[in-house]
Structure 1
Amino acid sequence: MTIALNRVEDRISEVVATLKAQGIKQVRFEFSDLHGVSRSKLVPIDAVEGFSRQGLNFYGGMMGLDTGSQIVAETKLHEEMNYRDGVLIPDFDTLMPIPWLDGHARVICDYEWKQGDVMASYPRYVYKRVLQKAAEMGFDVMMGIELEFYLLDGKTRQPVFSGVHCFNTLRNQYVPIIDELLNHLLECGIDLIDHGCEYGPGQMEINYGPAVGMKAADKAFMFKQIVKEVCQRAGYLATFMSRPFSDQTGCGSHVHVCLLDKDSDRNIFLDLDDTNGLSATAKSFIQGILHYGDSIMPLIAPTPNCYRRYLPPTFVSIYRGWGIQDRTGMVRVKASHDENTHIEMRAASSISNPYLSAAATVAAGLLGIQHDMELQPPIEGKGLYGDRNLPQLPQTLDAALTAMGTNTELTELLGEEFVRVFTAVKQAELNRCKAHVTDWEKNEYMEIY
């Protein structure tokens, strides 16, 4: 089943008629919370038109909940707002079937206080702000987001296979759920490129094509939800947690991006007169990411667990460096000397919200262009953890939040209200984390001391 209709007010009746003709009985009105988790309400088909025109009421404080869905008072989105509702406005460009639920479809929604009154802390809106800034500078953003995850047994929460089997053919389709998942992704319109097991036991990576503008982040958001939902229904747990096992590699989210000329669709990053085929704009974009790397860390590594991902064994660097086809830096440059030339920002964790990791990457790059930043020399030498004369990324969420909070340029671009709400939520999570006594502490100290 294919669903492809635009979000246009005078076409809502046509959308609903098409859905009915396709046998759709229920439509999931879906959106991303602050953490990239899907939240939704299910709407019977006969009610879809009314809610599409008026908006579907939904508690307005959702962006003020932490990862445990606990209310964070400091966000000022709860009691201060009298616990008021917002509304969900469906974006029918994102409409897709739910093939494992007969007669169901889903649509990503904009989340507003009321129609036309945007919710500044909504991640999709934050990325929209950044895309608008890019458009003002004459650019469209082409992006693809890779997302690694672990496939675990739903009861034991252990990997479906053990050992390290990077791209081992016998592990790529180790259990039937993998084939089922790939088929459902295709049925949902996710344009798969390749699939294979990753480095860790039970670790997977399924890649799909890039897209321009909001479609790239929407695709990543839906991809994560589809993977988790399909696997859960089959008795498995798919986790995008940054470092679920202390003795195994973490899960990264690699953000591939280039800028296109808005008028010609030409890849702005390509310059065949340059030795590496990189334009001056591309170099400034890369330097922007490196320069603002510490400030964007809370958005690309948003939990305390994320910072365990930068410890061995892993394939991610703690350095704000770059290189041509170099996996040891924050930015890996895919210098193909053709229209496929782009950069890969490798520091993000899979647990990060795709809208926010996209916003952070592009915002930092645009600031680099605005300031005409000169690209620093590439990484030299070997190894991820050697003695390098390069600035390091923050090693804790505390330090990362401090860096973001003092960066006025980034705050202005992302929105002051968003940064305030995001910081309050993350600080509340940190406070809960610090107050928790871990099993390691009990095992280490309780008996001996």
Structure 2
Amino acid sequence: MTIKEILQYVKNHTSGKVKIAYVDIDGILRGKYISSKKFLNIAEKDTSFCDVIFGWDAADVAYDNGNYTGWQTGYPDAPARIDLSTFRKIPWENDLPFFLGEIISSKGAPAAVCPRQLLKKVCHDAEQMGYHPVAAQEFEWYNFSETPQSAADKGFRNLTPLTPGMFGYSVLRSALKNSFFTDLFEDLRRFDIPLEGIHTETGPGTYEAAIEYAGLITAADRATLFKTAVKEIAYRHGIMATFMAKIDETLPGCGGHVHQSLLDKTRKKNVFFDAKDKQQISPIFRQYIAGQLHCLPFILPMFAPTVNSYKRLVEGAWAPTTLTWGIDNRTVALRVLQQSATACRLETRVIGADVNPYLAMAAAIASGLYGIRHKLKLTQPAQTGNGYLETAYGVLPRTLEQATAAMKNAPLARELFGEAFTRHFTDTREWEWKQHLKTVTDWEMRRYFEII
């Protein structure tokens, strides 16, 4: 639709309102309904939104270590802009018009704290180097026959899974809850989040969905909206969906793997593929892989942003722990898929479902471009066996504290993402770790209550 047609749709919608949202540092959509009249007044010019969305954590607790905003500034409104190209109709809200926005500076420039703006910067960097990045994200998540109230009443323990048992790729289980399956597939497509496929994963009530690939910004928009859309569709079926990286030490974690390729300027040739190479991967692709391997220890919080993320990154749990790569190998950090010129790509498997898709894609593409820009050599051979055993090239940081310290102290992170973003983001991850340290966990109660 043209801008004129979009604005006309808003004007004519019977609800008289529009839904808008901005993405915070944790990848959570923060938004509101506004009247169609107000929207039409701000649609083609700058607006504002409370800057507290970058001044508090996922639980709405204000940071005490932030520089962007805080009690010292009074949490004013930040300049913002609606991106009309993100227009969608929400199928489960009577095709209500929906838009994403971005935070900007007082001078109209991209705000350093805005995840979508960071990804735009990385995309611009790629285009300046002569590449057009395309990507897609796939998610695993758990579903429970609960409501927000029932889950809270149970203290988020002993929740009832949507279906019992470990039953990956189950035709039977997808038939059992087929109305939910069907609504996910069809409503997401109508919400401009087309899926390549959806199936049950290994774990009680666990699903996995792969989103169709697209240009980098569109891919991140789809991935971010996917998580909230799934939760909203689930609500309508009396279901709660969670994208936590690890819900139980006895169950597999939830990945949010990002698949990525670089096309040339014509947007027709995949520069990762080389039919003449023994492994069918080009010199540029080797540099790209080398860049991600080199950068991974210093950008890991952008792939694993929570305390819980690191409970997933353990041996033998379908998530990587070592700095490894391989061809169609699911035990390594970076999995290369090169069966054809059109589908040749890298799957970054470190990324969990709890991630902010804008930051995950920014980190993946920026670190790969780093390898190309610095012409890094991929001296490490492809791992053909168990990647968990290959520790010679390094292992991933074990905790959010370790990973955040590595990123905060790395000039490389500031080179890739800028000083202001790196400072703000690592400050928020330090805050997240400190909140965790205050908490008495169920594990501590079980281990120490009687015996100590």
Give the TM-score band, short-chain normalised: over 0.9
Aligned to 1:168: 170
- Deviation of 1:190 after TM superposition, in Å, equals 1.8
Question: Following superposition of structure 1 onto structure 2, how do residues 129-278 of structure 1 map, counting pairs within 5 Å?
Answer: 129-154=121-146, 155=150, 157-175=159-177, 176-278=179-281
- Which of 55, 60, 78 is 2:51 aligned to? 60
Aligned to 1:73: 64
User: Residues 169 and 199 of structure 2 are in contact (CA less than 8 Å); yes or no, is this contact kept in structure 1?
Assistant: yes
Aligned to 2:102: 110
- What secondary structure, in the 3-state scheme, does the structure 1 residue paired with 2:349 have? strand
Aligned to 1:372: 375
- Deviation of 1:313 after TM superposition, in Å, equals 4.9
User: Residues 288 and 364 of structure 1 are in contact (CA less than 8 Å); yes or no, is this contact kept in structure 2?
Assistant: yes
Question: Following superposition of structure 1 onto structure 2, how do residues 8-23 of structure 1 map, counting pairs within 5 Å?
Answer: 11=4, 14-21=5-12, 23=14
- Deviation of 1:281 after TM superposition, in Å, equals 0.6
- Deviation of 1:104 after TM superposition, in Å, equals 1.4
Distance 2:361 2:2 in 1: 25
Aligned to 1:48: 39
Q: Count how many residue pairs are aligned between Structure 1 and Structure 2.
A: 440
Question: Following superposition of structure 1 onto structure 2, how do residues 426-445 of structure 1 map, counting pairs within 5 Å?
Answer: 426-445=429-448
1:26 is the counterpart of 2:1: no
- What secondary structure, in the 3-state scheme, does the structure 2 residue paired with 1:69 have? coil
Distance 1:264 1:416 in 2: 32
- Deviation of 1:272 after TM superposition, in Å, equals 1.4
Aligned to 1:92: 84
Question: Following superposition of structure 1 onto structure 2, how do residues 361-440 of structure 1 map, counting pairs within 5 Å?
Answer: 361-380=364-383, 382-386=385-389, 388-440=391-443
Distance 1:188 1:258 in 2: 25
Distance 2:381 2:349 in 1: 15
**What code does the residue aligned with 2:449 have?**
M
Of 239-248 and 15-24, more deviation after overlay is shown by 15-24
**What code does the residue aligned with 1:218 have?**
D
- Deviation of 1:387 after TM superposition, in Å, equals 5.4
**What code does the residue aligned with 2:53 have?**
M
- Deviation of 1:365 after TM superposition, in Å, equals 0.4
- Deviation of 1:62 after TM superposition, in Å, equals 1.5
- What secondary structure, in the 3-state scheme, does the structure 1 residue paired with 2:310 have? helix
User: Residues 413 and 422 of structure 2 are in contact (CA less than 8 Å); yes or no, is this contact kept in structure 1?
Assistant: no
Of 343-352 and 386-395, more deviation after overlay is shown by 386-395
Distance 1:383 1:277 in 2: 22
- What secondary structure, in the 3-state scheme, does the structure 1 residue paired with 2:224 have? helix
Label 1:115 to 1:211 Cα distance change in 2 as closer, same or farther (>3 A).
farther
- Deviation of 1:189 after TM superposition, in Å, equals 2.0
- Which of 330, 345, 348 is 2:348 aligned to? 345
**What code does the residue aligned with 2:116 have?**
R
Of 398-407 and 320-329, more deviation after overlay is shown by 398-407
1:129-169 Cα deviation digits (max 9, x unpaired):
11111111111101011111111122353321121101010
- Deviation of 1:310 after TM superposition, in Å, equals 1.6
User: Residues 329 and 346 of structure 1 are in contact (CA less than 8 Å); yes or no, is this contact kept in structure 2?
Assistant: yes
1:180-225 Cα deviation digits (max 9, x unpaired):
2222112112222111001111110122210012111011011111
- Deviation of 1:337 after TM superposition, in Å, equals 3.6
- Deviation of 1:79 after TM superposition, in Å, equals 3.1
**What code does the residue aligned with 2:19 have?**
R
- What secondary structure, in the 3-state scheme, does the structure 1 residue paired with 2:121 have? helix
User: Residues 148 and 240 of structure 1 are in contact (CA less than 8 Å); yes or no, is this contact kept in structure 2?
Assistant: yes
| % same residue | 30
User: Residues 259 and 345 of structure 2 are in contact (CA less than 8 Å); yes or no, is this contact kept in structure 1?
Assistant: yes
Distance 1:106 1:192 in 2: 20
**What code does the residue aligned with 1:163 have?**
G
User: Residues 320 and 329 of structure 1 are in contact (CA less than 8 Å); yes or no, is this contact kept in structure 2?
Assistant: yes
- Deviation of 1:319 after TM superposition, in Å, equals 0.9
Question: Following superposition of structure 1 onto structure 2, how do residues 2-13 of structure 1 map, counting pairs within 5 Å?
Answer: 4-6=1-3, 11=4
**Root mean square deviation of aligned Cα:** 1.8
TM-score normalised by length of structure 2: 0.93
- What secondary structure, in the 3-state scheme, does the structure 2 residue paired with 1:109 have? strand
User: Residues 25 and 54 of structure 2 are in contact (CA less than 8 Å); yes or no, is this contact kept in structure 1?
Assistant: yes
- Deviation of 1:381 after TM superposition, in Å, equals 5.5
- Deviation of 1:379 after TM superposition, in Å, equals 4.2
User: Residues 316 and 388 of structure 2 are in contact (CA less than 8 Å); yes or no, is this contact kept in structure 1?
Assistant: no
Distance 1:135 1:425 in 2: 30
**What code does the residue aligned with 2:432 have?**
E
User: Residues 329 and 384 of structure 2 are in contact (CA less than 8 Å); yes or no, is this contact kept in structure 1?
Assistant: no
**What code does the residue aligned with 1:223 have?**
F
User: Residues 151 and 159 of structure 1 are in contact (CA less than 8 Å); yes or no, is this contact kept in structure 2?
Assistant: yes
**What code does the residue aligned with 1:200 have?**
G
**What code does the residue aligned with 2:144 have?**
L
1:329 is the counterpart of 2:332: yes
Distance 2:319 2:342 in 1: 27
- Deviation of 1:31 after TM superposition, in Å, equals 1.3
- Deviation of 1:56 after TM superposition, in Å, equals 3.6
Distance 2:95 2:214 in 1: 28
Label 1:291 to 1:99 Cα distance change in 2 as closer, same or farther (>3 A).
same
- What secondary structure, in the 3-state scheme, does the structure 1 residue paired with 2:92 have? coil
- What secondary structure, in the 3-state scheme, does the structure 2 residue paired with 1:100 have? helix
- Which of 355, 358, 373 is 1:355 aligned to? 358
1:125 is the counterpart of 2:110: no
Aligned to 2:74: 82
TM-score normalised by length of structure 1: 0.94
- Deviation of 1:109 after TM superposition, in Å, equals 0.7
- Deviation of 1:338 after TM superposition, in Å, equals 1.8
Structure 2: give runs of 5+ residues left out of the alignment: 152-158
- Deviation of 1:444 after TM superposition, in Å, equals 1.2
